[in-house]
Structure 1
Amino acid sequence: MSTANPVIALDVMGGDTGLSLVIAAAEIARERYPKLRFRLYGPEAAIRAALAKAPRIAADSVIVHTDQQVLGTDKPSQVIRRGRDTSMGLAISAVKAGEADATVSAGNTGALMAMAKLTLRTMEGIDRPALAALLPTSKADMIMLDLGANTECDAENLVQFAVMGAAFARTVLALPKPRVALLNIGVEELKGTDELKDAAALLRGVELPMSFEGFVEGDGIGKGDIDVVVTDGFSGNIALKSIEGTARLVTGLLADAFRTSWLTKLGYLFSRGALRALRGHIDPDTHNGAVFLGLNGLVVKSHGSASARGFANAIGVAHDLIVGDIARRISDDLDNFRAHRPVLTPEGEAGDDLPAGDA
């Protein structure tokens, strides 16, 4: 496929809000990126009816009919057995077949991960794919991975995640040398598991297009001093849910506080602009679009409850990764790492590089 005219496969039957929202999101995305084209997977009659109200994308959209879908209650094992002909399965297969440059779905996360990995397989040099997403901080957006694809990771996995996360940041956030750190229980070099210490030693021992900053604690994620936070999927998912829950708690407490008396209601009138800006900054729709990095093809996951604007943002993430040729960036960085990979001493420190033939 050509990155000049990206084609994105849309699973129109995934998510909670229905087919019409996906079509509306495609229209919004097309306004932002006029060269986008779409392949739409779902019931043909319903898609055609929706496209009748969306003439700007109708002419450049291909409809692939299926009335089968992956449900939110389906287990990944069930989907692997019967999901090939679902809207999700067909959209992912389009990437493998070269009919689309990326897939965007708001469907069942576990099923999407399982089917994407089975269909597309992992890139050479990547042991496991990772789920990465944009998150807000007090300064600018940052990236965290893994957010749930891998509950247990060794040092090699964490190094690969760091390479992929840095490539993501260079592509989507336009950062030439993103600041990367490993999530840990402390910033001191002696703290953490052996896997974390070994990963840190490997990342310190090789010159990569990133600035490795060592470790970051949970309370440092939102400060904006790190561009890419790397962790295993177990810790990453807990951190993500904690961040999301805290955001809801703060906004809820603010709303309650402004309703307590006529004085607080008056205060709300004077602070509406600031509160609107805060809400926009932490709005999940603004940062919608998690990516399964490390596969031989791009798959982007939208929130199931995302608005049309939020789903359009997920399509935008897919567009940026296609145009930025993230697969090449990851592959080049992995080749560089393997060519100059340091040898770890028994103490977990980086020694001399491996000879090129042994890398």
Structure 2
Amino acid sequence: MSNSSRIAVDAMGGDKGLAVMLAGVARARRRFPDMQFILVGDETAIRDGLLSHPNLTAHSEIVHAPEVVGSSDKPGQALRRAKTTSMGIAIDMVKQGRAAAAVSSGNTGALMAMAKLSLRMIPGIDRPALAALLPTLGNNDVVVLDLGANTECDARNLVQFAVMGAAYARTTLDLASPRVALLNIGSEDQKGTDEIRDAARDLKAATHLPMTFSGFVEGDQLSHGDVDVIVCDGFSGNIALKTAEGTARFVADLLKRAFRSSIRSKIGFLISRPATELLRHHLDPNNHNGAVFLGLNGLVVKSHGGANEVGVATAIAAAAKMVRDDLTRRIAEDLGNFEAKAA
């Protein structure tokens, strides 16, 4: 079993329990049949759970972890138990080289703290950034970062996020030269903070990198599909993400209420059902699940805590694709080229 094709899974993380995590792993393996797994957690429970997935057993190794990081645990508390929890041990598998990536649906703050301490940063990267894909009206999703790892960022951080986000888009979206923009309160050059304007200046000069700087975008343009990567500080990014998720739920609930309001509406629903099913699929967060901490010396993917088996499989598939395309190496090379040109 090649370590380069192994993914360590925190089998005990997530709100929906071990059964959903294993079902997601099994689904992901059907998409990537060469992928192997290290399942970290309660050994007895995992073995019992694998009885429902006999085809997964031969392609998985179980590593016992006596403890689990709770959803309410603070990062400091989780760090002290890194060697005994399923989350901490899964990350350690990447550090040891036994796995090429780790996937967890557990506590986001704890996962970031453990990953940063264990794996350290790529040389030249100051801070990790949490990046994820959001649906758009265009042909591709859009990469948005940072989504909450850093509440305050200077221009250097934003530039590094742009370089990392572009490398991620080239890998995940198969784009040769992703269009990169900074989230701002207006599209004019004079708008925004000093940090955003300084970052824009540096990105405009980075014409030697495999990306195209497209200037500023506003919050109402997140889903337009006009750009491929949107860069911001973690405070703004997390608010934007939660607003987008809330709006998607609002639209879905509003449609349900409207279609149930009368007999005529119910008939209209039956006629328009193919379109509404397409909309439901497009807005379902399980189909876009899997945020990655960019900038680390190793791949760590955060699955949404409430993800179902489709969502877990989507996160694992994202990790598999990043492993296949050697995302960490791409980021290091792009950053090196940027700094060499800027020197």
TM-score normalised per structure 1: 0.93
State the secondary structure of the residue aligned to 2:180: strand
State the secondary structure of the residue aligned to 2:29: helix
Shift of 1:38: 0.4
- Structure 1 residue 267 and structure 2 residue 268: aligned? yes
Write the distance in 2 (CA, Å) between the matches of 1:124 and 1:2.
26
Question: Residue 174 of structure 1 corresponds to which residue in structure 2?
Answer: 174
Return the letter of the residue paired with 1:142.
V
Question: Residue 300 of structure 1 corresponds to which residue in structure 2?
Answer: 301
Aligned length: 341
Q: Which runs of 5+ in 1 are unaligned?
A: 342-358
Write the distance in 2 (CA, Å) between the matches of 1:165 and 1:66.
33
- After superposition, give the CA deviation of every residue in 1:297-356 in whole Å (9 maximum; x if it has no partner): 100000111111110000000000000111111111111111111xxxxxxxxxxxxxxx
- Structure 1 residue 284 and structure 2 residue 285: aligned? yes
Question: Residue 40 of structure 2 corresponds to which residue in structure 1?
Answer: 41
Question: Residue 50 of structure 1 corresponds to which residue in structure 2?
Answer: 49
- Structure 1 residue 210 and structure 2 residue 193: aligned? no
Question: Residue 353 of structure 1 corresponds to which residue in structure 2?
Answer: none
Question: Residue 60 of structure 2 corresponds to which residue in structure 1?
Answer: 61
Write the distance in 1 (CA, Å) between the matches of 2:77 and 2:41.
20
Alignment of 1:209-288 (within 5 A): 209-288=210-289
Return the letter of the residue paired with 1:340.
K
Return the letter of the residue paired with 1:295.
L
- After superposition, give the CA deviation of every residue in 1:31-71 in whole Å (9 maximum; x if it has no partner): 10011000011111111111122121101211111220000
Shift of 1:81: 1.6
Return the letter of the residue paired with 2:256.
A
Instruction: Pick closer, same or farther for the CA change 1:194–1:2 going to 2, 3 Å.
Output: farther
Return the letter of the residue paired with 2:234.
G
Write the distance in 2 (CA, Å) between the matches of 1:2 and 1:340.
37
Shift of 1:2: 5.3
State the secondary structure of the residue aligned to 2:82: helix
State the secondary structure of the residue aligned to 2:81: helix
Rg bigger for which structure?
1
TM-score normalised per structure 2: 0.98
- Cα RMSD after superposing both structures: 1.1
Return the letter of the residue paired with 2:56.
I
Write the distance in 2 (CA, Å) between the matches of 1:202 and 1:130.
19
Question: Residue 344 of structure 1 corresponds to which residue in structure 2?
Answer: none
Shift of 1:127: 0.1
Write the distance in 2 (CA, Å) between the matches of 1:316 and 1:117.
22
Question: Residue 320 of structure 2 corresponds to which residue in structure 1?
Answer: 319
Question: Residue 153 of structure 1 corresponds to which residue in structure 2?
Answer: 153
Question: Residue 349 of structure 1 corresponds to which residue in structure 2?
Answer: none
Whether the aligned pair in 1 keeps the contact of 2:81 and 2:88 (CA below 8 Å) is: no
Return the letter of the residue paired with 2:328.
A
Return the letter of the residue paired with 1:170.
R
- After superposition, give the CA deviation of every residue in 1:142-178 in whole Å (9 maximum; x if it has no partner): 1100000000000000000000000000001001101
Question: Residue 187 of structure 1 corresponds to which residue in structure 2?
Answer: 187
Question: Residue 124 of structure 1 corresponds to which residue in structure 2?
Answer: 123
Instruction: Pick closer, same or farther for the CA change 1:191–1:288 going to 2, 3 Å.
Output: same
Shift of 1:23: 1.2
State the secondary structure of the residue aligned to 1:92: helix
